[in-house]
Chain A
Amino acid sequence: MIRRLAPLALLAMAACSNDGTVTSELVAGFLLDEIAPGILADAPEEAAPARELTRAELDQIPFATIALSVEDSPRAFVVPLADNGGYLTYMDATRRGIVMQGGAITGTLGLGIDLNGVRNAANDPVARPTPLAEWPGQVYRNYQYKLRDGKEYSISLTCIFERVARERIEIVERRFEVVRIAETCTNRARQVVNQHWVAPETGFIWKTTQWVSPQQPPLTVEIIRPYSPS
């Protein structure tokens, strides 16, 4: 049964309550009671490839939600567990996850050599939603890590933005009119390309594929339900 619940392990969620405690049991219970039966009813004992959740099922989740994937892997749906001054911590039941500031991934959690933080410019439109017309030509970022030898180090990149095309993308059965932005970040040792699908008027990033460290493949984040601090 545990294996059959594997897709939901990534869905293990919680939320903040007004007394500062985390209600992970509550949310996990909600998911198992309300969503899992429909998914798991006819699943074979040794599970076949997991079926992704539908929009209708995702709409039952009363929290902000993102879909996280790596290359062509299935999506993992995760909700934020904490909002620390605009830095949202998304984490699953096995305590793996990411930290996001706006549309920027500024941390990875429990993925090996983690990205510990990103120093970005005050006008970085990936971290702070900015109407597309106001995006700067280039921004500077500093990615911070610590290796297991105890040594901290950072990677500094200069990033430039290029409009690729207007596109219509679909995120779990919902379509969005966006502009795809190719962000090329370079320093003397490396060049990485991030892709952002941006709502032009608000600058909100609905989908993004970002480099986070030399040790990890790019991560793709899709916004299922945007987070609102209120």
Chain B
Amino acid sequence: MVAATGEDAISWGLRVRGSGYPSADMRSARQGTTWRRLKSATIFLAAALALATTGLGSDIRAEEPDAEIAPPRPTTNNYGITGLIEMPSAEVQPDAQITVTTSFFSGFLRNQISATILPGVEAAFRYSALGDLGTVPGQNTLFDRSFDIKVRLVEESRNWPSIAIGLQDFLGTGIFAGEYIVATKSFLDGDLKLTGGVGWGRFASVGAFDNPLTELSDRFNDRTGAGNTGGNVNFGEYFSGPNVGVFAGVQWRTPIEGLTVTAEYASDDYDFEDAAGAVDVEVPINLGLSYRPLDGVEVGAYYMYGSEFGVRVSLSANPFKPLALTDGEAAPQPLIERPAPPNARSPEILGEVRELFTGTAVTTDFTAAGLSDVSVEERLGGVRWAEATVAPSAGFECPANAATAIDAEYGVVDAVTFRHPQGRVLCTVALRPAGQQAIRLTQVANSSHPTDWHGQETLRQQVVEALVAELDADELGLFGIDLSPTRAEVYIENTKFRSTPRAIGRTARALSRTMPPSVETFEIIVVESSLPVVAVSLTRSELEDQVNRPDAARRAWLAAEVADARPIGLSEIPGVAEQYPRFTWGISPAVPVNLFDPDQPARFDLSVVASAGIEFLPGLSINGDISQRIIGQLDDIERDSDSVLPRVRSDFAEYLREGEPAITRLTGDYITKLDDDIYGRFSVGLLERMFGGVSAEVLWKPANQSWGIGAEVNWTQQRDFDTLFSFQDYQVATGHVSLYWDTPWYGISTQIDAGRYLARDLGATLTVKRRFANGWEFGGFATFTNVPFNEFGEGSFDKGLFLTIPLNWALPFESRSEFSTVLRPLTRDGGQRLIVSNRLYPIVEDFDRQHLRANWGSFWE
């Protein structure tokens, strides 16, 4: 039996997405006294607003968060779920809250990671070490993995308590299995909370009465309890058993900030553990204190069951509440508005332009104004523009006040153009800011700037050099540029800003500052890993009318055009060919972790990974990674694989022992765009730590579409354990067809990969993750193949959790670096997919319309 996790499968590491360039320097901008005071005050006051938001990067502008009136986050129980001490409550943590909890009492150590995966839905994974309960000869401790889920059915209101239903250990061996329905009501402005619930299974051993569900079906009479091999969902046993237990509790939030007193009547009497002599339950009552010195830190101390003392520590974070609330980056350079064109023809079209914003009293009666031929039409952007002919007797004076009469008569008119009966335009009056903007756009549209600069090579070169300097100031790279008299097509590489719209916005500002006035269209093409991914087209005059105004980001988004970037030839775009060959390198720490081995449940290594690459032409490169362990314990793993499948992963310990140093990647790669929305990749060499061979992939993912399809085929051979250049005999052809879909709900992304895995098993992997606008991700995956559960071994099927935390969530400066980890309860051989470093979808997934929209709020920042 192998109860361990491979180093490749779970490792804490710091990685930089994108081209592999070194991450941006940590620059500390020099600040004067004023700014320092602002920043310190910002930090002090930031906590109040950190309570901010609900919902996820949606395009709905939220109103002011209830920062000052939101109640404190509820406490976590010993099972890592929101609750009292041992019992759950009906409360749930705020949306997206992630908590790591360790609790200990009477020799029982429980480690949990829990998350509010959707508003009102909590899930937890638990790894327990239960002393004196060992079932394996010579092993006193029982190690167990389990999963919980709790769903809040009713949110607390003035008259109703919150009500929740939960399943404990619903996917595991069933040692802790139990179900419950619980209600919680707050009193005294939330200082006092009462909880009461009923439970089945583990929760049914105290205060029990007959299970009323047995009246519905005999199925509810039987409950076999713990003992299966894990990995199975035991649908048939939920809410079953002869009895239902009752539990209750009270929590009092003391006047001492962060201190809560809890008492509970627990319906779990630890019958099994008591019988084994592992715990002594005298009374089913627990008392305790929990203290939260900081928002993300909570400790608890308890007197439990009349005989034991227990402790708990919970560390918690929330993607919506960055640790670093301030952003120390320098502000963008101002956008420079062009001077009025010298040959504006607007007088012929608009006449004299006046502004008479609403708020001005209507001084002219509409009927008395003598207007005729009044018409109102909607023009670009929904602007309501009226035209009217003045009375012949009015002469050629602009009857500006009559515009207010038209506004009153026709309702919400943004601009009015008055004509003389002879046809001459007298004037145009802006009544609202929208009308003012429309007038300006009309002026721009009917004017032209000199374009003779474009014919002079020297001037063009000066323009490009100025742009490069502006982009350098923001650490943006100019990949290529194509200038025409009225259009600038710029290809940018962004290795600094996590938010792509922020990079686009800064590029737009740089263009406004450097391009000659005749350049009206900015097409900004984002280049990622030498692939032109997405093109965003912006109109300069509209940007000039948006900057610094209210709703500027929303207006810029509405005016922006998002399209697939077309493939480019090497010599097609000036400046591209000169950049090659390009070298990349990097050195980063890595902390591979091995968990859940009964011999030692947690092992760590500290490694250093050196990476280097040379890119000869766009997308054509050679890349290598070498990993060297500095210190650690992973070479102590002694468990041998008992797998009956080809040992494609379960021999990972051999690789760790013998692979020092390990060439974890040495590949020749070519990635390219086959069409506007089709990408291709070919890789050959040492693809990953355990396999080498060839890999080819194609991906169809239009930028304006939330889903895509990919296909990958690989021929691979297993590498020797020394992880150098030799191979074992095992060869396998694998491949998958993949469907990707970014749902419109809560940032949830799904992926289905169906095909042949490394052990030649056939099946599919479902991956579901929740992605946040600021770069957080958490989710899980499960793989089901034609390998029977008993042949697969412990765990029944391959599954895992993953978490990604962007570095700039915790640090007050921009970075695209992130911490990322995958947590697999077990590493077996079924359902294992080849690891490829440069799969296409992760390269392009952040650049479609949906993701740009989610982050567009930072366009002007």
Contacts and interface: CB of A to CB of B under 8 A. Distances in A.
Interface of A: 2, 6-7, 9-10, 16, 18, 20-22, 50, 68-71, 73-76, 81-85, 87, 89, 91-97, 99, 101, 106-107, 109-114, 116-123, 136, 142, 144, 146-156, 187, 189-190, 214-217
Contacts of B855: 150
Contacts of A75: 34
B458 to A, nearest CB: 15
B499 A96 contact: no
A207 to B, nearest CB: 16
A21 B860 CA distance: 20
Interface string B799-824: 00000000011001000000000000
Interface string B541-553: 0001101111111
A151 B319 contact: no
A112 B39 contact: yes
Contacts of A142: 550
Contact of B550 (A2, A89, A97, A118): A118
A151 B34 contact: no
Contacts of A187: 64
Given A146-B857, A148-B324, A21 B513 contact: yes
Interface in B427-452: 432-433
B728 interface: no
A116 B553 contact: yes
Contact of A144 (B39, B331, B551): B551
Interface residues of B, number: 81
Contact of B32 (A9, A71, A112): A9
A111 B30 contact: no
Interface stretch (B55-63, B232-240, B581-589, B602-610): B55-63
Contact of B31 (A96, A136, A189): A96
B187 interface: no
A20 B515 CA distance: 9
Contacts of A144: 550-551
A107 B548 contact: yes
A74 B33 CA distance: 7
B29 A95 contact: yes
Interface in B769-821: 772-774, 808-809, 812
B773 A149 contact: yes
B108 interface: no
A118 B549 CA distance: 7
A118 B550 CA distance: 5
Interface centre among A94, A148, A156, by most chain B C-beta atoms within 10 angstroms, is A148
Interface in B271-322: 319-322
Contacts of A118: 550
A7 B35 CA distance: 12
A199 to B, nearest CB: 21
Given A116-B861, A151-B53, A20 B517 contact: yes
Contacts of B53: 147, 149, 151, 153
A71 B339 CA distance: 38
A82 B512 CA distance: 12
A152 B774 contact: no
A215 B432 CA distance: 32
A143 B417 CA distance: 33
A101 B433 CA distance: 14
A217 B37 CA distance: 9
13 contacts: A16-B336, A71-B37, A73-B34, A74-B34, A91-B331, A96-B35, A96-B331, A112-B812, A148-B325, A148-B774, A149-B322, A150-B772, A153-B53
Given A84-B334, A122-B357, A156 B64 contact: yes
Contact of B330 (A21, A81, A95): A95
Contacts of A217: 37-38, 41, 45
Interface of B: 29-35, 37-39, 41-42, 45-46, 48-49, 52-53, 55-57, 61-69, 319-322, 324-339, 357-359, 432-433, 466, 499, 513-514, 517, 544-545, 547-553, 772-774, 808-809, 812, 854-855, 857-858, 860-861
Nearest to B554: A152
A152 to B, nearest CB: 4
A7 B34 CA distance: 10
Residue among A16, A92, A94, A96 facing the most chain B CB atoms (10 A cut-off): A96
B772 A189 contact: no
Contact of A149 (B38, B41, B321, B335): B321
Contacts of B39: 111-112
A151 B62 contact: yes
Nearest to B514: A21
Contacts of B63: 153-154, 156
A118 B552 CA distance: 10
A150 B774 contact: yes
A81 B332 CA distance: 12
B325 to A, nearest CB: 6
Contacts of B326: 112-113, 215
B62 A214 contact: no
Contacts of B38: 70, 111-112, 216-217
Nearest to B808: A148
A83 B67 CA distance: 35
A16 to B, nearest CB: 7
Contacts of B333: 22, 81, 95
A-B pairs, top 8 by smallest CB distance, nearest first, are: A150-B773, A109-B331, A95-B330, A82-B334, A112-B326, A110-B331, A119-B550, A123-B359
Contacts of B52: 147, 149, 151, 153
Contacts of A152: 61-62, 553, 857
A89 B548 contact: yes
Contacts of A91: 331, 334
Given A21-B513, A151-B55, A84 B30 contact: no
Given A82-B336, A110-B330, A151-B773, A70 B37 contact: yes
Given A20-B338, A76-B34, A151 B320 contact: yes
Contacts of A101: 548
B513 to A, nearest CB: 7
Contacts of B513: 20-22
Contacts of A111: 35, 38-39, 42
Contacts of A85: 337, 544-545, 548-549
Given A21-B513, A94-B30, A149-B53, A113 B46 contact: yes
A112 B325 contact: yes
Nearest to B509: A82
Given A117-B548, A216-B41, A216-B45, A148 B327 contact: yes
Given A189-B66, A216-B45, A113 B553 contact: no
Given A92-B32, A214-B67, A215-B42, 16 more contacts: A22-B333, A76-B32, A85-B337, A94-B35, A112-B326, A113-B46, A117-B552, A149-B773, A150-B774, A151-B52, A152-B553, A152-B857, A155-B64, A156-B63, A156-B64, A214-B49
B474 to A, nearest CB: 10
B478 to A, nearest CB: 18
A106 B860 CA distance: 14
A190 B68 CA distance: 9
A111 B42 CA distance: 8
A68 B62 CA distance: 31
Contacts of B517: 20
B30 A10 contact: no
A87 B330 contact: no
B550 A149 contact: no
B359 A121 contact: yes
Contacts of B809: 148
Contacts of A136: 359
Q: Which of A6, A22, A82, A147 has the most CB of B within 10 A?
A: A147
Contacts of B37: 70-71, 73, 217
A96 B28 CA distance: 13
Contacts of B861: 114, 116, 146
A148 B773 CA distance: 9
A75 B56 CA distance: 40
Nearest to B433: A122
